[in-house]
Amino acid sequence: MPDFNKTKIMFVLPALTAGGAERVMITLMNGLDRDRYAPCLVSVSDKGDLHDLIDQDIDFCTLKQKHLALGWTGLFQHLRREKPDVVISTMAHMNFVLLTMRPFFQKTKFIVREAITPSFLFNKYKKTSWLIKLMYQILYPAADAVLSPSQIIFDEFRDVLRMSSKNFFVLNNPVNTKTIRACYEALSKKDAAHHKSVHFLAVGRLGRQKGFDRLIEYLPRLSLPYDWTLTILGEGDEREHLESLIRKHGFEDKVFMPGLVRPPWQHYLQADCFLMPSRYEGLPNVVLESLACGVPVIATRESGGIAYIRDHSPKGAVRVVDSMHEFVQAMEQVKPGKASHKKSLLNDMFEQKAVFRHFVKILHMVQR
């Protein structure tokens, strides 16, 4: 039986695929105080690998539709039936659909989260960019709050779309530093050997966005006085293409793709440097997790809020480069390390408790 004294918050996702935006939403949902909030989750599709991240006490519903275009009517009916106090969504297409429903739910507050720069969508969907711009300008002002992990995203709303930022709030991606460090340090006690080679690590969905293809294409230019390996964790549609590039350059004994690994901390333990060759990002979770493990980062400037992370990290912890040529040059400066305890490089502002406090403040403000 529902507790009418609690605020019912419905989180909505297109699917449970293993992406950063989905993980952030689930983390925020799991972290809500159950004495004050009744969180639930709705996914348009039942596909994805993140089911096991959802806390067992959270009501979970899937509309079992392949695409949002097929699931919007079911989503509308679900909202009418459940009557949530607050709805929170992420990703532009999901946000657009929910905000068109807003006039029919006057008592419900709508919060949307934008994880990438609008310009990326304009460039990706050039023929319909005019429509995307129009939907941003018409629908986003109707949201009770627009969340983003990086100020650079909001800067585009202001400078490119000429939109007011009165309902915009920066909310850092939360990192469970305590859990990560506990797992990481337990592993480090078992393996304190010195490396004789440099171990690079990259993590993310195997898609064009992540830039793993251009990283592999540039690896023949890498000149190190040490042996080296690169491990890429993740799954996606680009696996076959990436494997063909590995074979093309004869890197079968240097570049490894073991798939989606959870928890991944053993790989972070072995890593001397984390690589992010992305073509675009929001505020990359994997970079924050790498810093929590004490592993420095090399990243492309296109990696969303990477400069924001760099500016709030110890000097030298995050190196931001402007080209893949510079990326490889930065890799050449990495030396073999020791698989043992490494001090966290992550700023406390990204720690889960700090982010949750800010999130709750935004919820309180929206509900006033």
Q: Is 299 helix (H, G, I), strand (E, B) or coil?
A: strand
Say what the pLDDT of residue 183 is.
76
Q: What is the DSSP string of 81-112?
A: HH--SEEEEESHHHHHHHHHHGGG-TTSEEEE
**pTM to 2 decimal places:** 0.85
Percent helix, percent strand, percent coil in the chain, to nearest 5 = 45, 20, 40
> pLDDT above 90 covers what percent of the chain?
66
Q: Could you read off the pLDDT of 166-176 as tens digits, one per residue?
A: 899 999 999 98
Q: What CATH architecture applies to the domain 7-174+351-367?
A: 3-Layer(aba) Sandwich (3.40)
Cα-based distances in Å from 295 to 27, 282, 289: 22, 20, 9
Say what the pLDDT of residue 191 is.
55
Amino acid identity for residue 329 in this structure: Q
In angstroms, rounded to a whole number, what is the distance separating the alpha carbons of residues 70 and 272? Answer: 45
Listed as ranges, residues in the chain with pLDDT below 70 are 1-4, 18, 184-195, 338-341
Say what the pLDDT of residue 341 is.
59
Q: Could you read off the pLDDT of 98-126 as tens digits, one per residue?
A: 999 999 999 999 999 998 889 888 988 99
Evaluate whether 335 touches 324 at the Cβ level (below 8 Å).
Answer: no
Instruction: Given CATH 3.40.50.2000, say whether it is the number of domain 177-348.
Output: yes
Name the helix (H) or strand (E) containing 210: none
- CATH 3.40.50.2000 positions along the chain are 7-174+351-367, 177-348
* Six token digits for residue 228: 């080296």
Buried b (16+ CB within 10 A) or exposed e, 29-38: bbbbeeeebb
Q: Spell out the long-range contacts of 321-325 with Cβ–Cβ below 8 A and sequence spacing 24 or more.
A: 324/214, 324/215, 324/218, 324/277, 324/300, 325/218, 325/221
